[in-house]
Chain A
Amino acid sequence: MSSRSEILGKIAKNKPQPTPLPELLAFGDTWNNGDLIEQFKESSALNGGKTILVKSREEIGSYLESSFDPGKQTISLSKSFKGNLDCDSIRDPHDLEKVELAILEGTYGVAENAAIWLPEENLQHRVLPFIAQHLVVILDAKNLLPDMHEVYKKVDVSAPDYGVFIAGPSKTADIEQSLVIGAHGPRSMTVFIIADE
């Protein structure tokens, strides 16, 4: 007998009486936008990230120029900004090893924990937001949602081959519980929220 049928057979024999599947939980979308932005900022800070509220994409541009070294490799998957390395030219993800800054567009952000859903098409290479030394994600304020229940209603997480919620920079507390930012991946994560007009 194969292990598969052995395991399934044992389960059939040993499982308890069937119980019903409970309804999905949801707590409604009763927040107003200002509260969501404040909550997102607070959550992001707790995760080790930084949130900057801007009125326009131009504001982001000047911030990026002053904060990151233009001499180092930058990949931008946002149409609003140009990097100095063309992601389309990269075939092997190992060639992303020296990327200093990745600029990505987020889809939805979750206020309760600052998680941003990034489906594979927003990354091009799955490893990009992990291998880059610094990460910038741009999000429209109107795409903020209060909690995880709401975001799972909005996005189909199985539509892309891969997708990830990113809520902050790479971090660890494995040495005596001391928080250190920049374990393997980005040493910083900056989220720009573009306020509604």
Chain B
Amino acid sequence: MAKIMTHASAAEAFLKDSDRTQWHDETLWHVRKKRDTAAQKLPEWEQLRENASMVKDYVLSNMDTLLETFEKNAKANGIEVLWAKDAAEHNAHVLRILQENHVQNIVKSKSILTEECGLNHFLEDKGYDVVDTDLGERIIQFNKQVPSHIVMPAIHLKKKEIGDIFHTHLGTDSGADDPSYLTEAARIHLREKFIRANAAITGVNFGIVESGGFVVCTNEGNADMGTHLADLHIACMGIEKLIPRKADLGVYLRLLARSATGQSITNYTSHFHRPRPGKKLYLILVDNGRTEQLGREDFRNSLKCIRCGACMNTCPIYRRSSGFSYNSTVPGPIGSILSPGMDLKKHSTLPFASTLCGSCSDVCPVKINIHEQLYQWRQVITQAGHESPSKKWAMKLGGKVMGSPSWYDFLGKTARSALKLTPKKLVYSRVNTWGKNRDLPDSPKESFKDWYLKNRKS
């Protein structure tokens, strides 16, 4: 059996380049600060969050009937609605649609759901040319990587590296790394792809129950360039993306971009209700583990997520370990509460990749109690016996010592003198992972108990 990659060991690779780690940390913190500025401009911010959270409570508790109404209204609009219980069925639907319509060239805009389903690789294996058109996604597609952030997919790369990637794939000048120059090269390259595409695949930000339409948000305009030129549009949507009323968009659109990047809105917010005359519009509703998550009382709130990425930008662990260390489609705090529901064993170290500082919950626009769920997943994982052997051993020993006053006194005394006498090399040996990037504080002369007995007891 393959060894499970822990978050800590995966993060180690990223941490080797300390300049990059520092840059990554500061850049994401900058985005977090922009979010704060945008949020603080609105006195009603907390009201918006509360409302968005409550509307999603309504959606989760009525999801079956809402989906039926949504489907009925979408069909009446001329949208072909398909259901997929898992990733395989989703991919099979897409393949069948492409085959039926004799499509060869596909353009895609950003969709975390299709990443989750592994759609690109599936289609490429079948011989299709799938072009990601979001600039960040195109970069990592060239580089044969997956997104390291759900809003900023290529945030782990420096412009020098992107320059090299473009030199190889687009023939830009060797060594050129000016963002404007590189973006222009991508623009020319992707325009040609848009013009030639027969099908466009997009994600969905919001599915509107009462009108049977959906909304897609971008800054680049790539979703629209693709869908309005191609003969068919396939929209892929997780079943939790519903909102009941058109006017609920007022709340979610005010929250989404401000939370994501500190913008007041994305430059394009497109509302699709009916296909162009003679063209086709498909909507695939995907479960892939969501109905099971709905049944987990402690964790179902994670389904409220609107994929803004604010919890990643604020997380001290994410900022210093990058998205790849999570080894899951959605990284960061929200990914760490979603992914264990998909595969508990594979993702068993993710809920531990947190300081439980609670910053993720504070910035979440739909008020998901992320840090509490991280803590709750830890209980589940430990009970299932999935924690790492060293942690299991340390916790057992810790429990014994803490439970016995005489052992505690004895070991405390021993440690205080031992730490002073032991050579530094031994104290900071490989066994002490805590001490890798940190110094231990000087050990006190006496324990609190000794001090108390001397000074206060009399």
Instruction: Say whether, besides A8-B68, A14-B291, A21-B244, A126 and B228 are in contact (CB < 8 Å).
Output: yes
The residues in A between 1 and 36 inclusive whose CB is less than 8 angstroms from any CB of B are: 2-4, 6-8, 10-22, 24-25, 27
The reply to whether B224 and A176 contact each other, CB–CB distance below 8 Å, is no
Q: Does B191 contact A (CB under 8 A)?
A: yes
Select one of B158, B220, B264 contacting A176, CB under 8 A: B158
Q: Does chain B have a CB within 8 A of A156? A: yes
Q: Any chain A CB within 8 A of the CB of B237?
A: no
Whether the pair A184, B265 counts as a contact (CB closer than 8 A) is no
Assuming the contacts A158-B273, A174-B135, asked whether A93 and B294 have C-beta atoms less than 8 A apart, the reply is no
Which residues of chain A are within 8 angstroms of B268 by Cβ–Cβ distance?
Answer: 130, 164-167, 170, 185
A62 within 8 A of B: no
Chain A residues near B61 (CB-CB < 8 A): 15-19
Q: Given that A115-B269, A165-B265 are contacting pairs, would A19 and B58 also be in contact in the complex, using a CB cutoff of 8 Å?
A: yes
Docked-complex contact A162 and B247, CB < 8 angstroms:
no
Tell me whether B271 is interfacial, beta carbon within 8 Å.
yes
Contact with B along A109-124 (1 / 0, CB 8 A): 0101111000000000
In the complex where A94-B195, A131-B225 touch, is A113 in contact with B250 (Cβ < 8 A)? Answer: no
- Chain B 187-218 interface residues, beta-carbon cutoff 8 Å to A: 187, 190-191, 194-195, 208, 211-213
CB of A96, distance to nearest CB on chain B (Å): 9
Q: B246 near A: Cβ within 8 Å?
A: yes
**How many of chain A's residues have a CB under 8 angstroms from any CB in B?**
73
Task: Classify the interface of chain A: helix, strand, loop or mixed.
Answer: loop
Residue of A94, A125, A131, A162 with most partner-chain B CB within 10 A: A162
User: Which of chain A's residues have a CB closer than 8 A to the CB of B439?
Assistant: none
- In the complex, A46 has a CB within 8 A of chain B: yes
Task: Name the B residues within 8 Å of A152 (CB-CB).
Answer: 246-247, 249-250
A85 contacts the other chain (Cβ, under 8 Å)?
no
A54 within 8 A of B: no
Asked if B179 is at the interface of the complex by the 8 Å CB criterion, the answer is yes
- Which residues of A are found within 8 Å of B247, using beta-carbon distances? 24, 149, 152-153
* Closest chain A residue, CB of each to CB of B257: A113
Tell me if B's interface is mostly helix, strand, loop or mixed: helix
Across the interface, do A156 and B55 meet the contact criterion of CB distance under 8 Å? Answer: no
**B136: Cβ under 8 A from any A Cβ:** yes
B91 at the interface (CB under 8 A from A): no
Contact residues in B for A17 (Cβ distance below 8 Å):
61
The answer to whether B265 touches A115 (Cβ under 8 A) is yes
* Chain B positions within 8 Å of A160 at CB level: 273
Q: How far is the CA of A183 from the CA of B187 in the complex (A)?
A: 6
The answer, yes or no, to whether A88 is at the interface (CB within 8 Å) is no
> What number of A-B contacts does a CB cutoff of 8 Å give?
250
Per-residue contact bits, chain B 431-454, to A (CB 8 Å; 1 contact, 0 not)? 000000000000000000000000
Cross-chain contact A174 with B153 (CB below 8 angstroms): yes
Does A174 contact B152, Cβ atoms closer than 8 Å? yes
Near B by CB (< 8 A), chain A positions 130-172 give 130-131, 147-149, 151-153, 156-158, 160-172
Contact across chains for A158 and B211 when beta carbons are under 8 A apart: yes
The CA-CA distance from A8 to B62 in the complex, in Å, is 11
Given contacts A24-B245, A167-B265, A170-B220, contact A15 B60 (CB under 8 A): yes
CB of B82, distance to nearest CB on chain A (Å):
9
Instruction: Check if A7 sits within 8 Å of B183, measured CB to CB.
Output: no
> Which of A10, A22, A125, A151 has a CB less than 8 Å from the CB of B51?
A22
Give chain B residues whose Cβ lies under 8 Å from the Cβ of A22. Answer: 51, 54-55, 58
Q: Is B275 an interface residue (CB 8 A)?
A: yes
Task: State whether B269 touches A112 (Cβ < 8 A).
Answer: no
Q: How many angstroms from the CA of A127 to the CA of B44 in the assembled complex? A: 35
Tell me the A residues contacting B by CB distance below 8 Å: 2-4, 6-8, 10-22, 24-25, 27, 43, 46-48, 93-94, 97, 110, 112-115, 125-127, 130-131, 147-149, 151-153, 156-158, 160-178, 180, 182-186
- Provide a sorted-by-A list of 26 A–B residue pairs whose CB atoms are within 8 angstroms: A3-B89, A10-B287, A14-B291, A15-B63, A19-B57, A21-B55, A25-B44, A46-B263, A48-B267, A126-B276, A127-B229, A158-B273, A161-B273, A161-B276, A162-B271, A162-B273, A165-B253, A168-B267, A170-B267, A172-B220, A176-B27, A176-B179, A184-B194, A184-B225, A185-B221, A185-B225
**8 closest Cβ pairs, A-B complex:** A14-B295, A158-B211, A174-B136, A127-B228, A113-B264, A185-B221, A10-B291, A161-B274
| Additional A-B contact list (19), CB under 8 Å, known A15-B64, A24-B247, A183-B187 | A2-B83, A3-B84, A7-B287, A8-B64, A8-B68, A11-B63, A15-B60, A16-B300, A110-B265, A152-B246, A157-B249, A158-B211, A161-B275, A164-B271, A174-B153, A175-B183, A176-B27, A183-B135, A185-B268
